[in-house]
Amino acid sequence: MARGRYERVLVVLETVLETECFVFLLHDFNVGLFWQTFLPLAAHCVAMALMSVGFVRPWNLARPHDRAWAVTGMTMMLAAPLAGFLGFVAVYALVTSSPTSRSDVLRDFQDYITYDASVTATSRPKGEQFIMDEVDVAPLRQILQGKDINLKRGAILSLSRLPRHDAVSLLKSALSDPEREIRYYASTALSDMEREFNDRIFRLVKETEANPTLVERHIELARLALAYVESGLLDEAVEHYFLELGSRSLDKALIVAKEDRRIFLLLGRLKHRAGDLAGAAEWLHRYLEGRDAFPPYEAKDGRDAALLLAEAEFGRGNVSMAIDVLSRAMKLFPADEEVAQAALVIMGH
């Protein structure tokens, strides 16, 4: 917290210096032509120098975002003393306090057009890659509800590596944090997550276009597109594009691997997410067809497929089919509480 107060000294000094410059330009204090010119000019130059160092926090000039803010602030201040500074304050407040939008998604289509595999592969440090394993975010939620700014920043960094809906929800909730610094970090983290998804997806699109028989790449692309949609980062208007992208990729994979059950499951999930219950049911039935047991590494997929299929059939009005699916699932996964709960709910109807 002390560090946060120290960093805000920059804002105070910049405001005071710009105000001093403006006042000296408007009023004659009878201090002589030299001082009447030198004092406002010196105050303005010092304020601009401070802006190159930071604003509500010191800039990290290794980050493109911070370099852009520093250049924008100095440019606006150079154009008009005080007015330029106040304009920058307004722009900064507007941008850092607003939630991320689909503009980041659409802007990155330019990256797809100018794709360079060697650049993309080395553009992001290894430590900033997504963590696809299951991670409990409850401790991070508690940290974000606290008051320690440094711990909150660490929690936001950790959440930015978890491309899941619960992590995104926590980051979005941090956009309303009382501390402007935390709101800024949360907004930046959400933008970085979108960029990471887009970079990976566009790379895989290029790879599958160049090598259409690479089944694993098609499957990875579909999984990533689905994860992007399920993360909660996208607006509904954009979700359809990525669902279609994943489905088209799997259609191509089916040409090479017609009996790959992973493709059936992913198509079922994509169709279900898109609201195509009939299509989802068709592919999920194919995935579960003839399965009397699941190996441990596939048990979760089998359980999820059964639940999703029951939901799709129930949504289509096929209650008896939904009950039959869950009855089979209870035999396959007898200790699973979620399957038992779903069966009770559907049978209750």
Q: Is residue 214 part of a domain?
A: no
Token pair belonging to 328: 């089979």
E strand or H helix at 315: helix 299-315
Rg of the Cα atoms in the chain: 27
CB atoms within 10 A of CB 129: 11
The CATH number for 271's domain is 1.25.40.10
Q: Is residue 201 part of a domain?
A: no
Q: Check residue 276 and give its pLDDT.
A: 95
In terms of residues, how long is the chain?
349
| Of the residues 43, 68, 97, the one at which a domain ends | 97
| Close Cβ partners of 286 (under 8 Å, ≥ 6 residues apart) | 261, 264
Given a contact cutoff of 8 angstroms between Cβ atoms, the answer to whether 309 and 268 are in contact is: yes
**Which residues, in sequence order, are bridge partners of residue 54?**
58
Give the C-alpha distances (Å, rounded to integers) separating 120 from 206, 246, 331.
12, 21, 47
Residue with structure tokens 């907004």?
A: 187
Burial category of 41 from C-beta neighbours within 10 Å (exposed 0-12, middle 13-18, buried 19 and up): middle
SS (H, E, C) 246-296: HHHHHHHHHHHCCCCHHHHHHHHHHHHHCCCHHHHHHHHHHHHCCCCCCCH
Give the C-alpha distances (Å, rounded to integers) separating 72 from 20, 55, 316.
21, 12, 55
Model pLDDT for residues 232-284, shown as the tens digit of each residue? 999 888 899 999 999 999 999 999 999 999 999 999 999 999 999 999 999 99
- CA–CA gap between residue 50 and residue 44 (Å, rounded): 10
Tell me which residue range forms the domain holding 316. 260-349
Q: Is residue 266 part of a domain?
A: yes
Q: Is residue 133 part of a domain?
A: no
| Of the residues 49, 75, 97, the one at which a domain ends | 97
3-class secondary structure, 317: coil
Among residues 188, 22, 14, 172, which one has the least CA distance to residue 89?
Answer: 14
Token pair belonging to 292: 């009397």
Please tell me the pTM assigned to this model: 0.62
Indicate the DSSP class of residue 58: B
3-class secondary structure, 125: coil
Q: Check residue 43 and give its pLDDT.
A: 86
Side chain identity at 48, as an amino acid letter?
M
| Of the residues 97, 119, 150, the one at which a domain ends | 97
Token pair belonging to 161: 């590596």
Q: Check residue 89 and give its pLDDT.
A: 85
Q: Is residue 249 part of a domain?
A: no
Contacts of 39-42 spanning 24+ positions with Cβ under 8 A:
40/81
Residues of the chain with pLDDT under 50: 1-4, 6, 99-128
Q: Is residue 89 part of a domain?
A: yes
Q: Is residue 122 part of a domain?
A: no
Helix residue ranges per DSSP H, 114-234:
117-122, 138-144, 149-159, 165-173, 180-210, 215-230
180-210 helix and 236-256 helix, angle to the nearest 10 degrees:
30
Q: Is residue 267 part of a domain?
A: yes
Q: Check residue 112 and give its pLDDT.
A: 37
- Domain count of the chain? 2
Token pair belonging to 192: 């970085």
- CA–CA gap between residue 117 and residue 2 (Å, rounded): 44
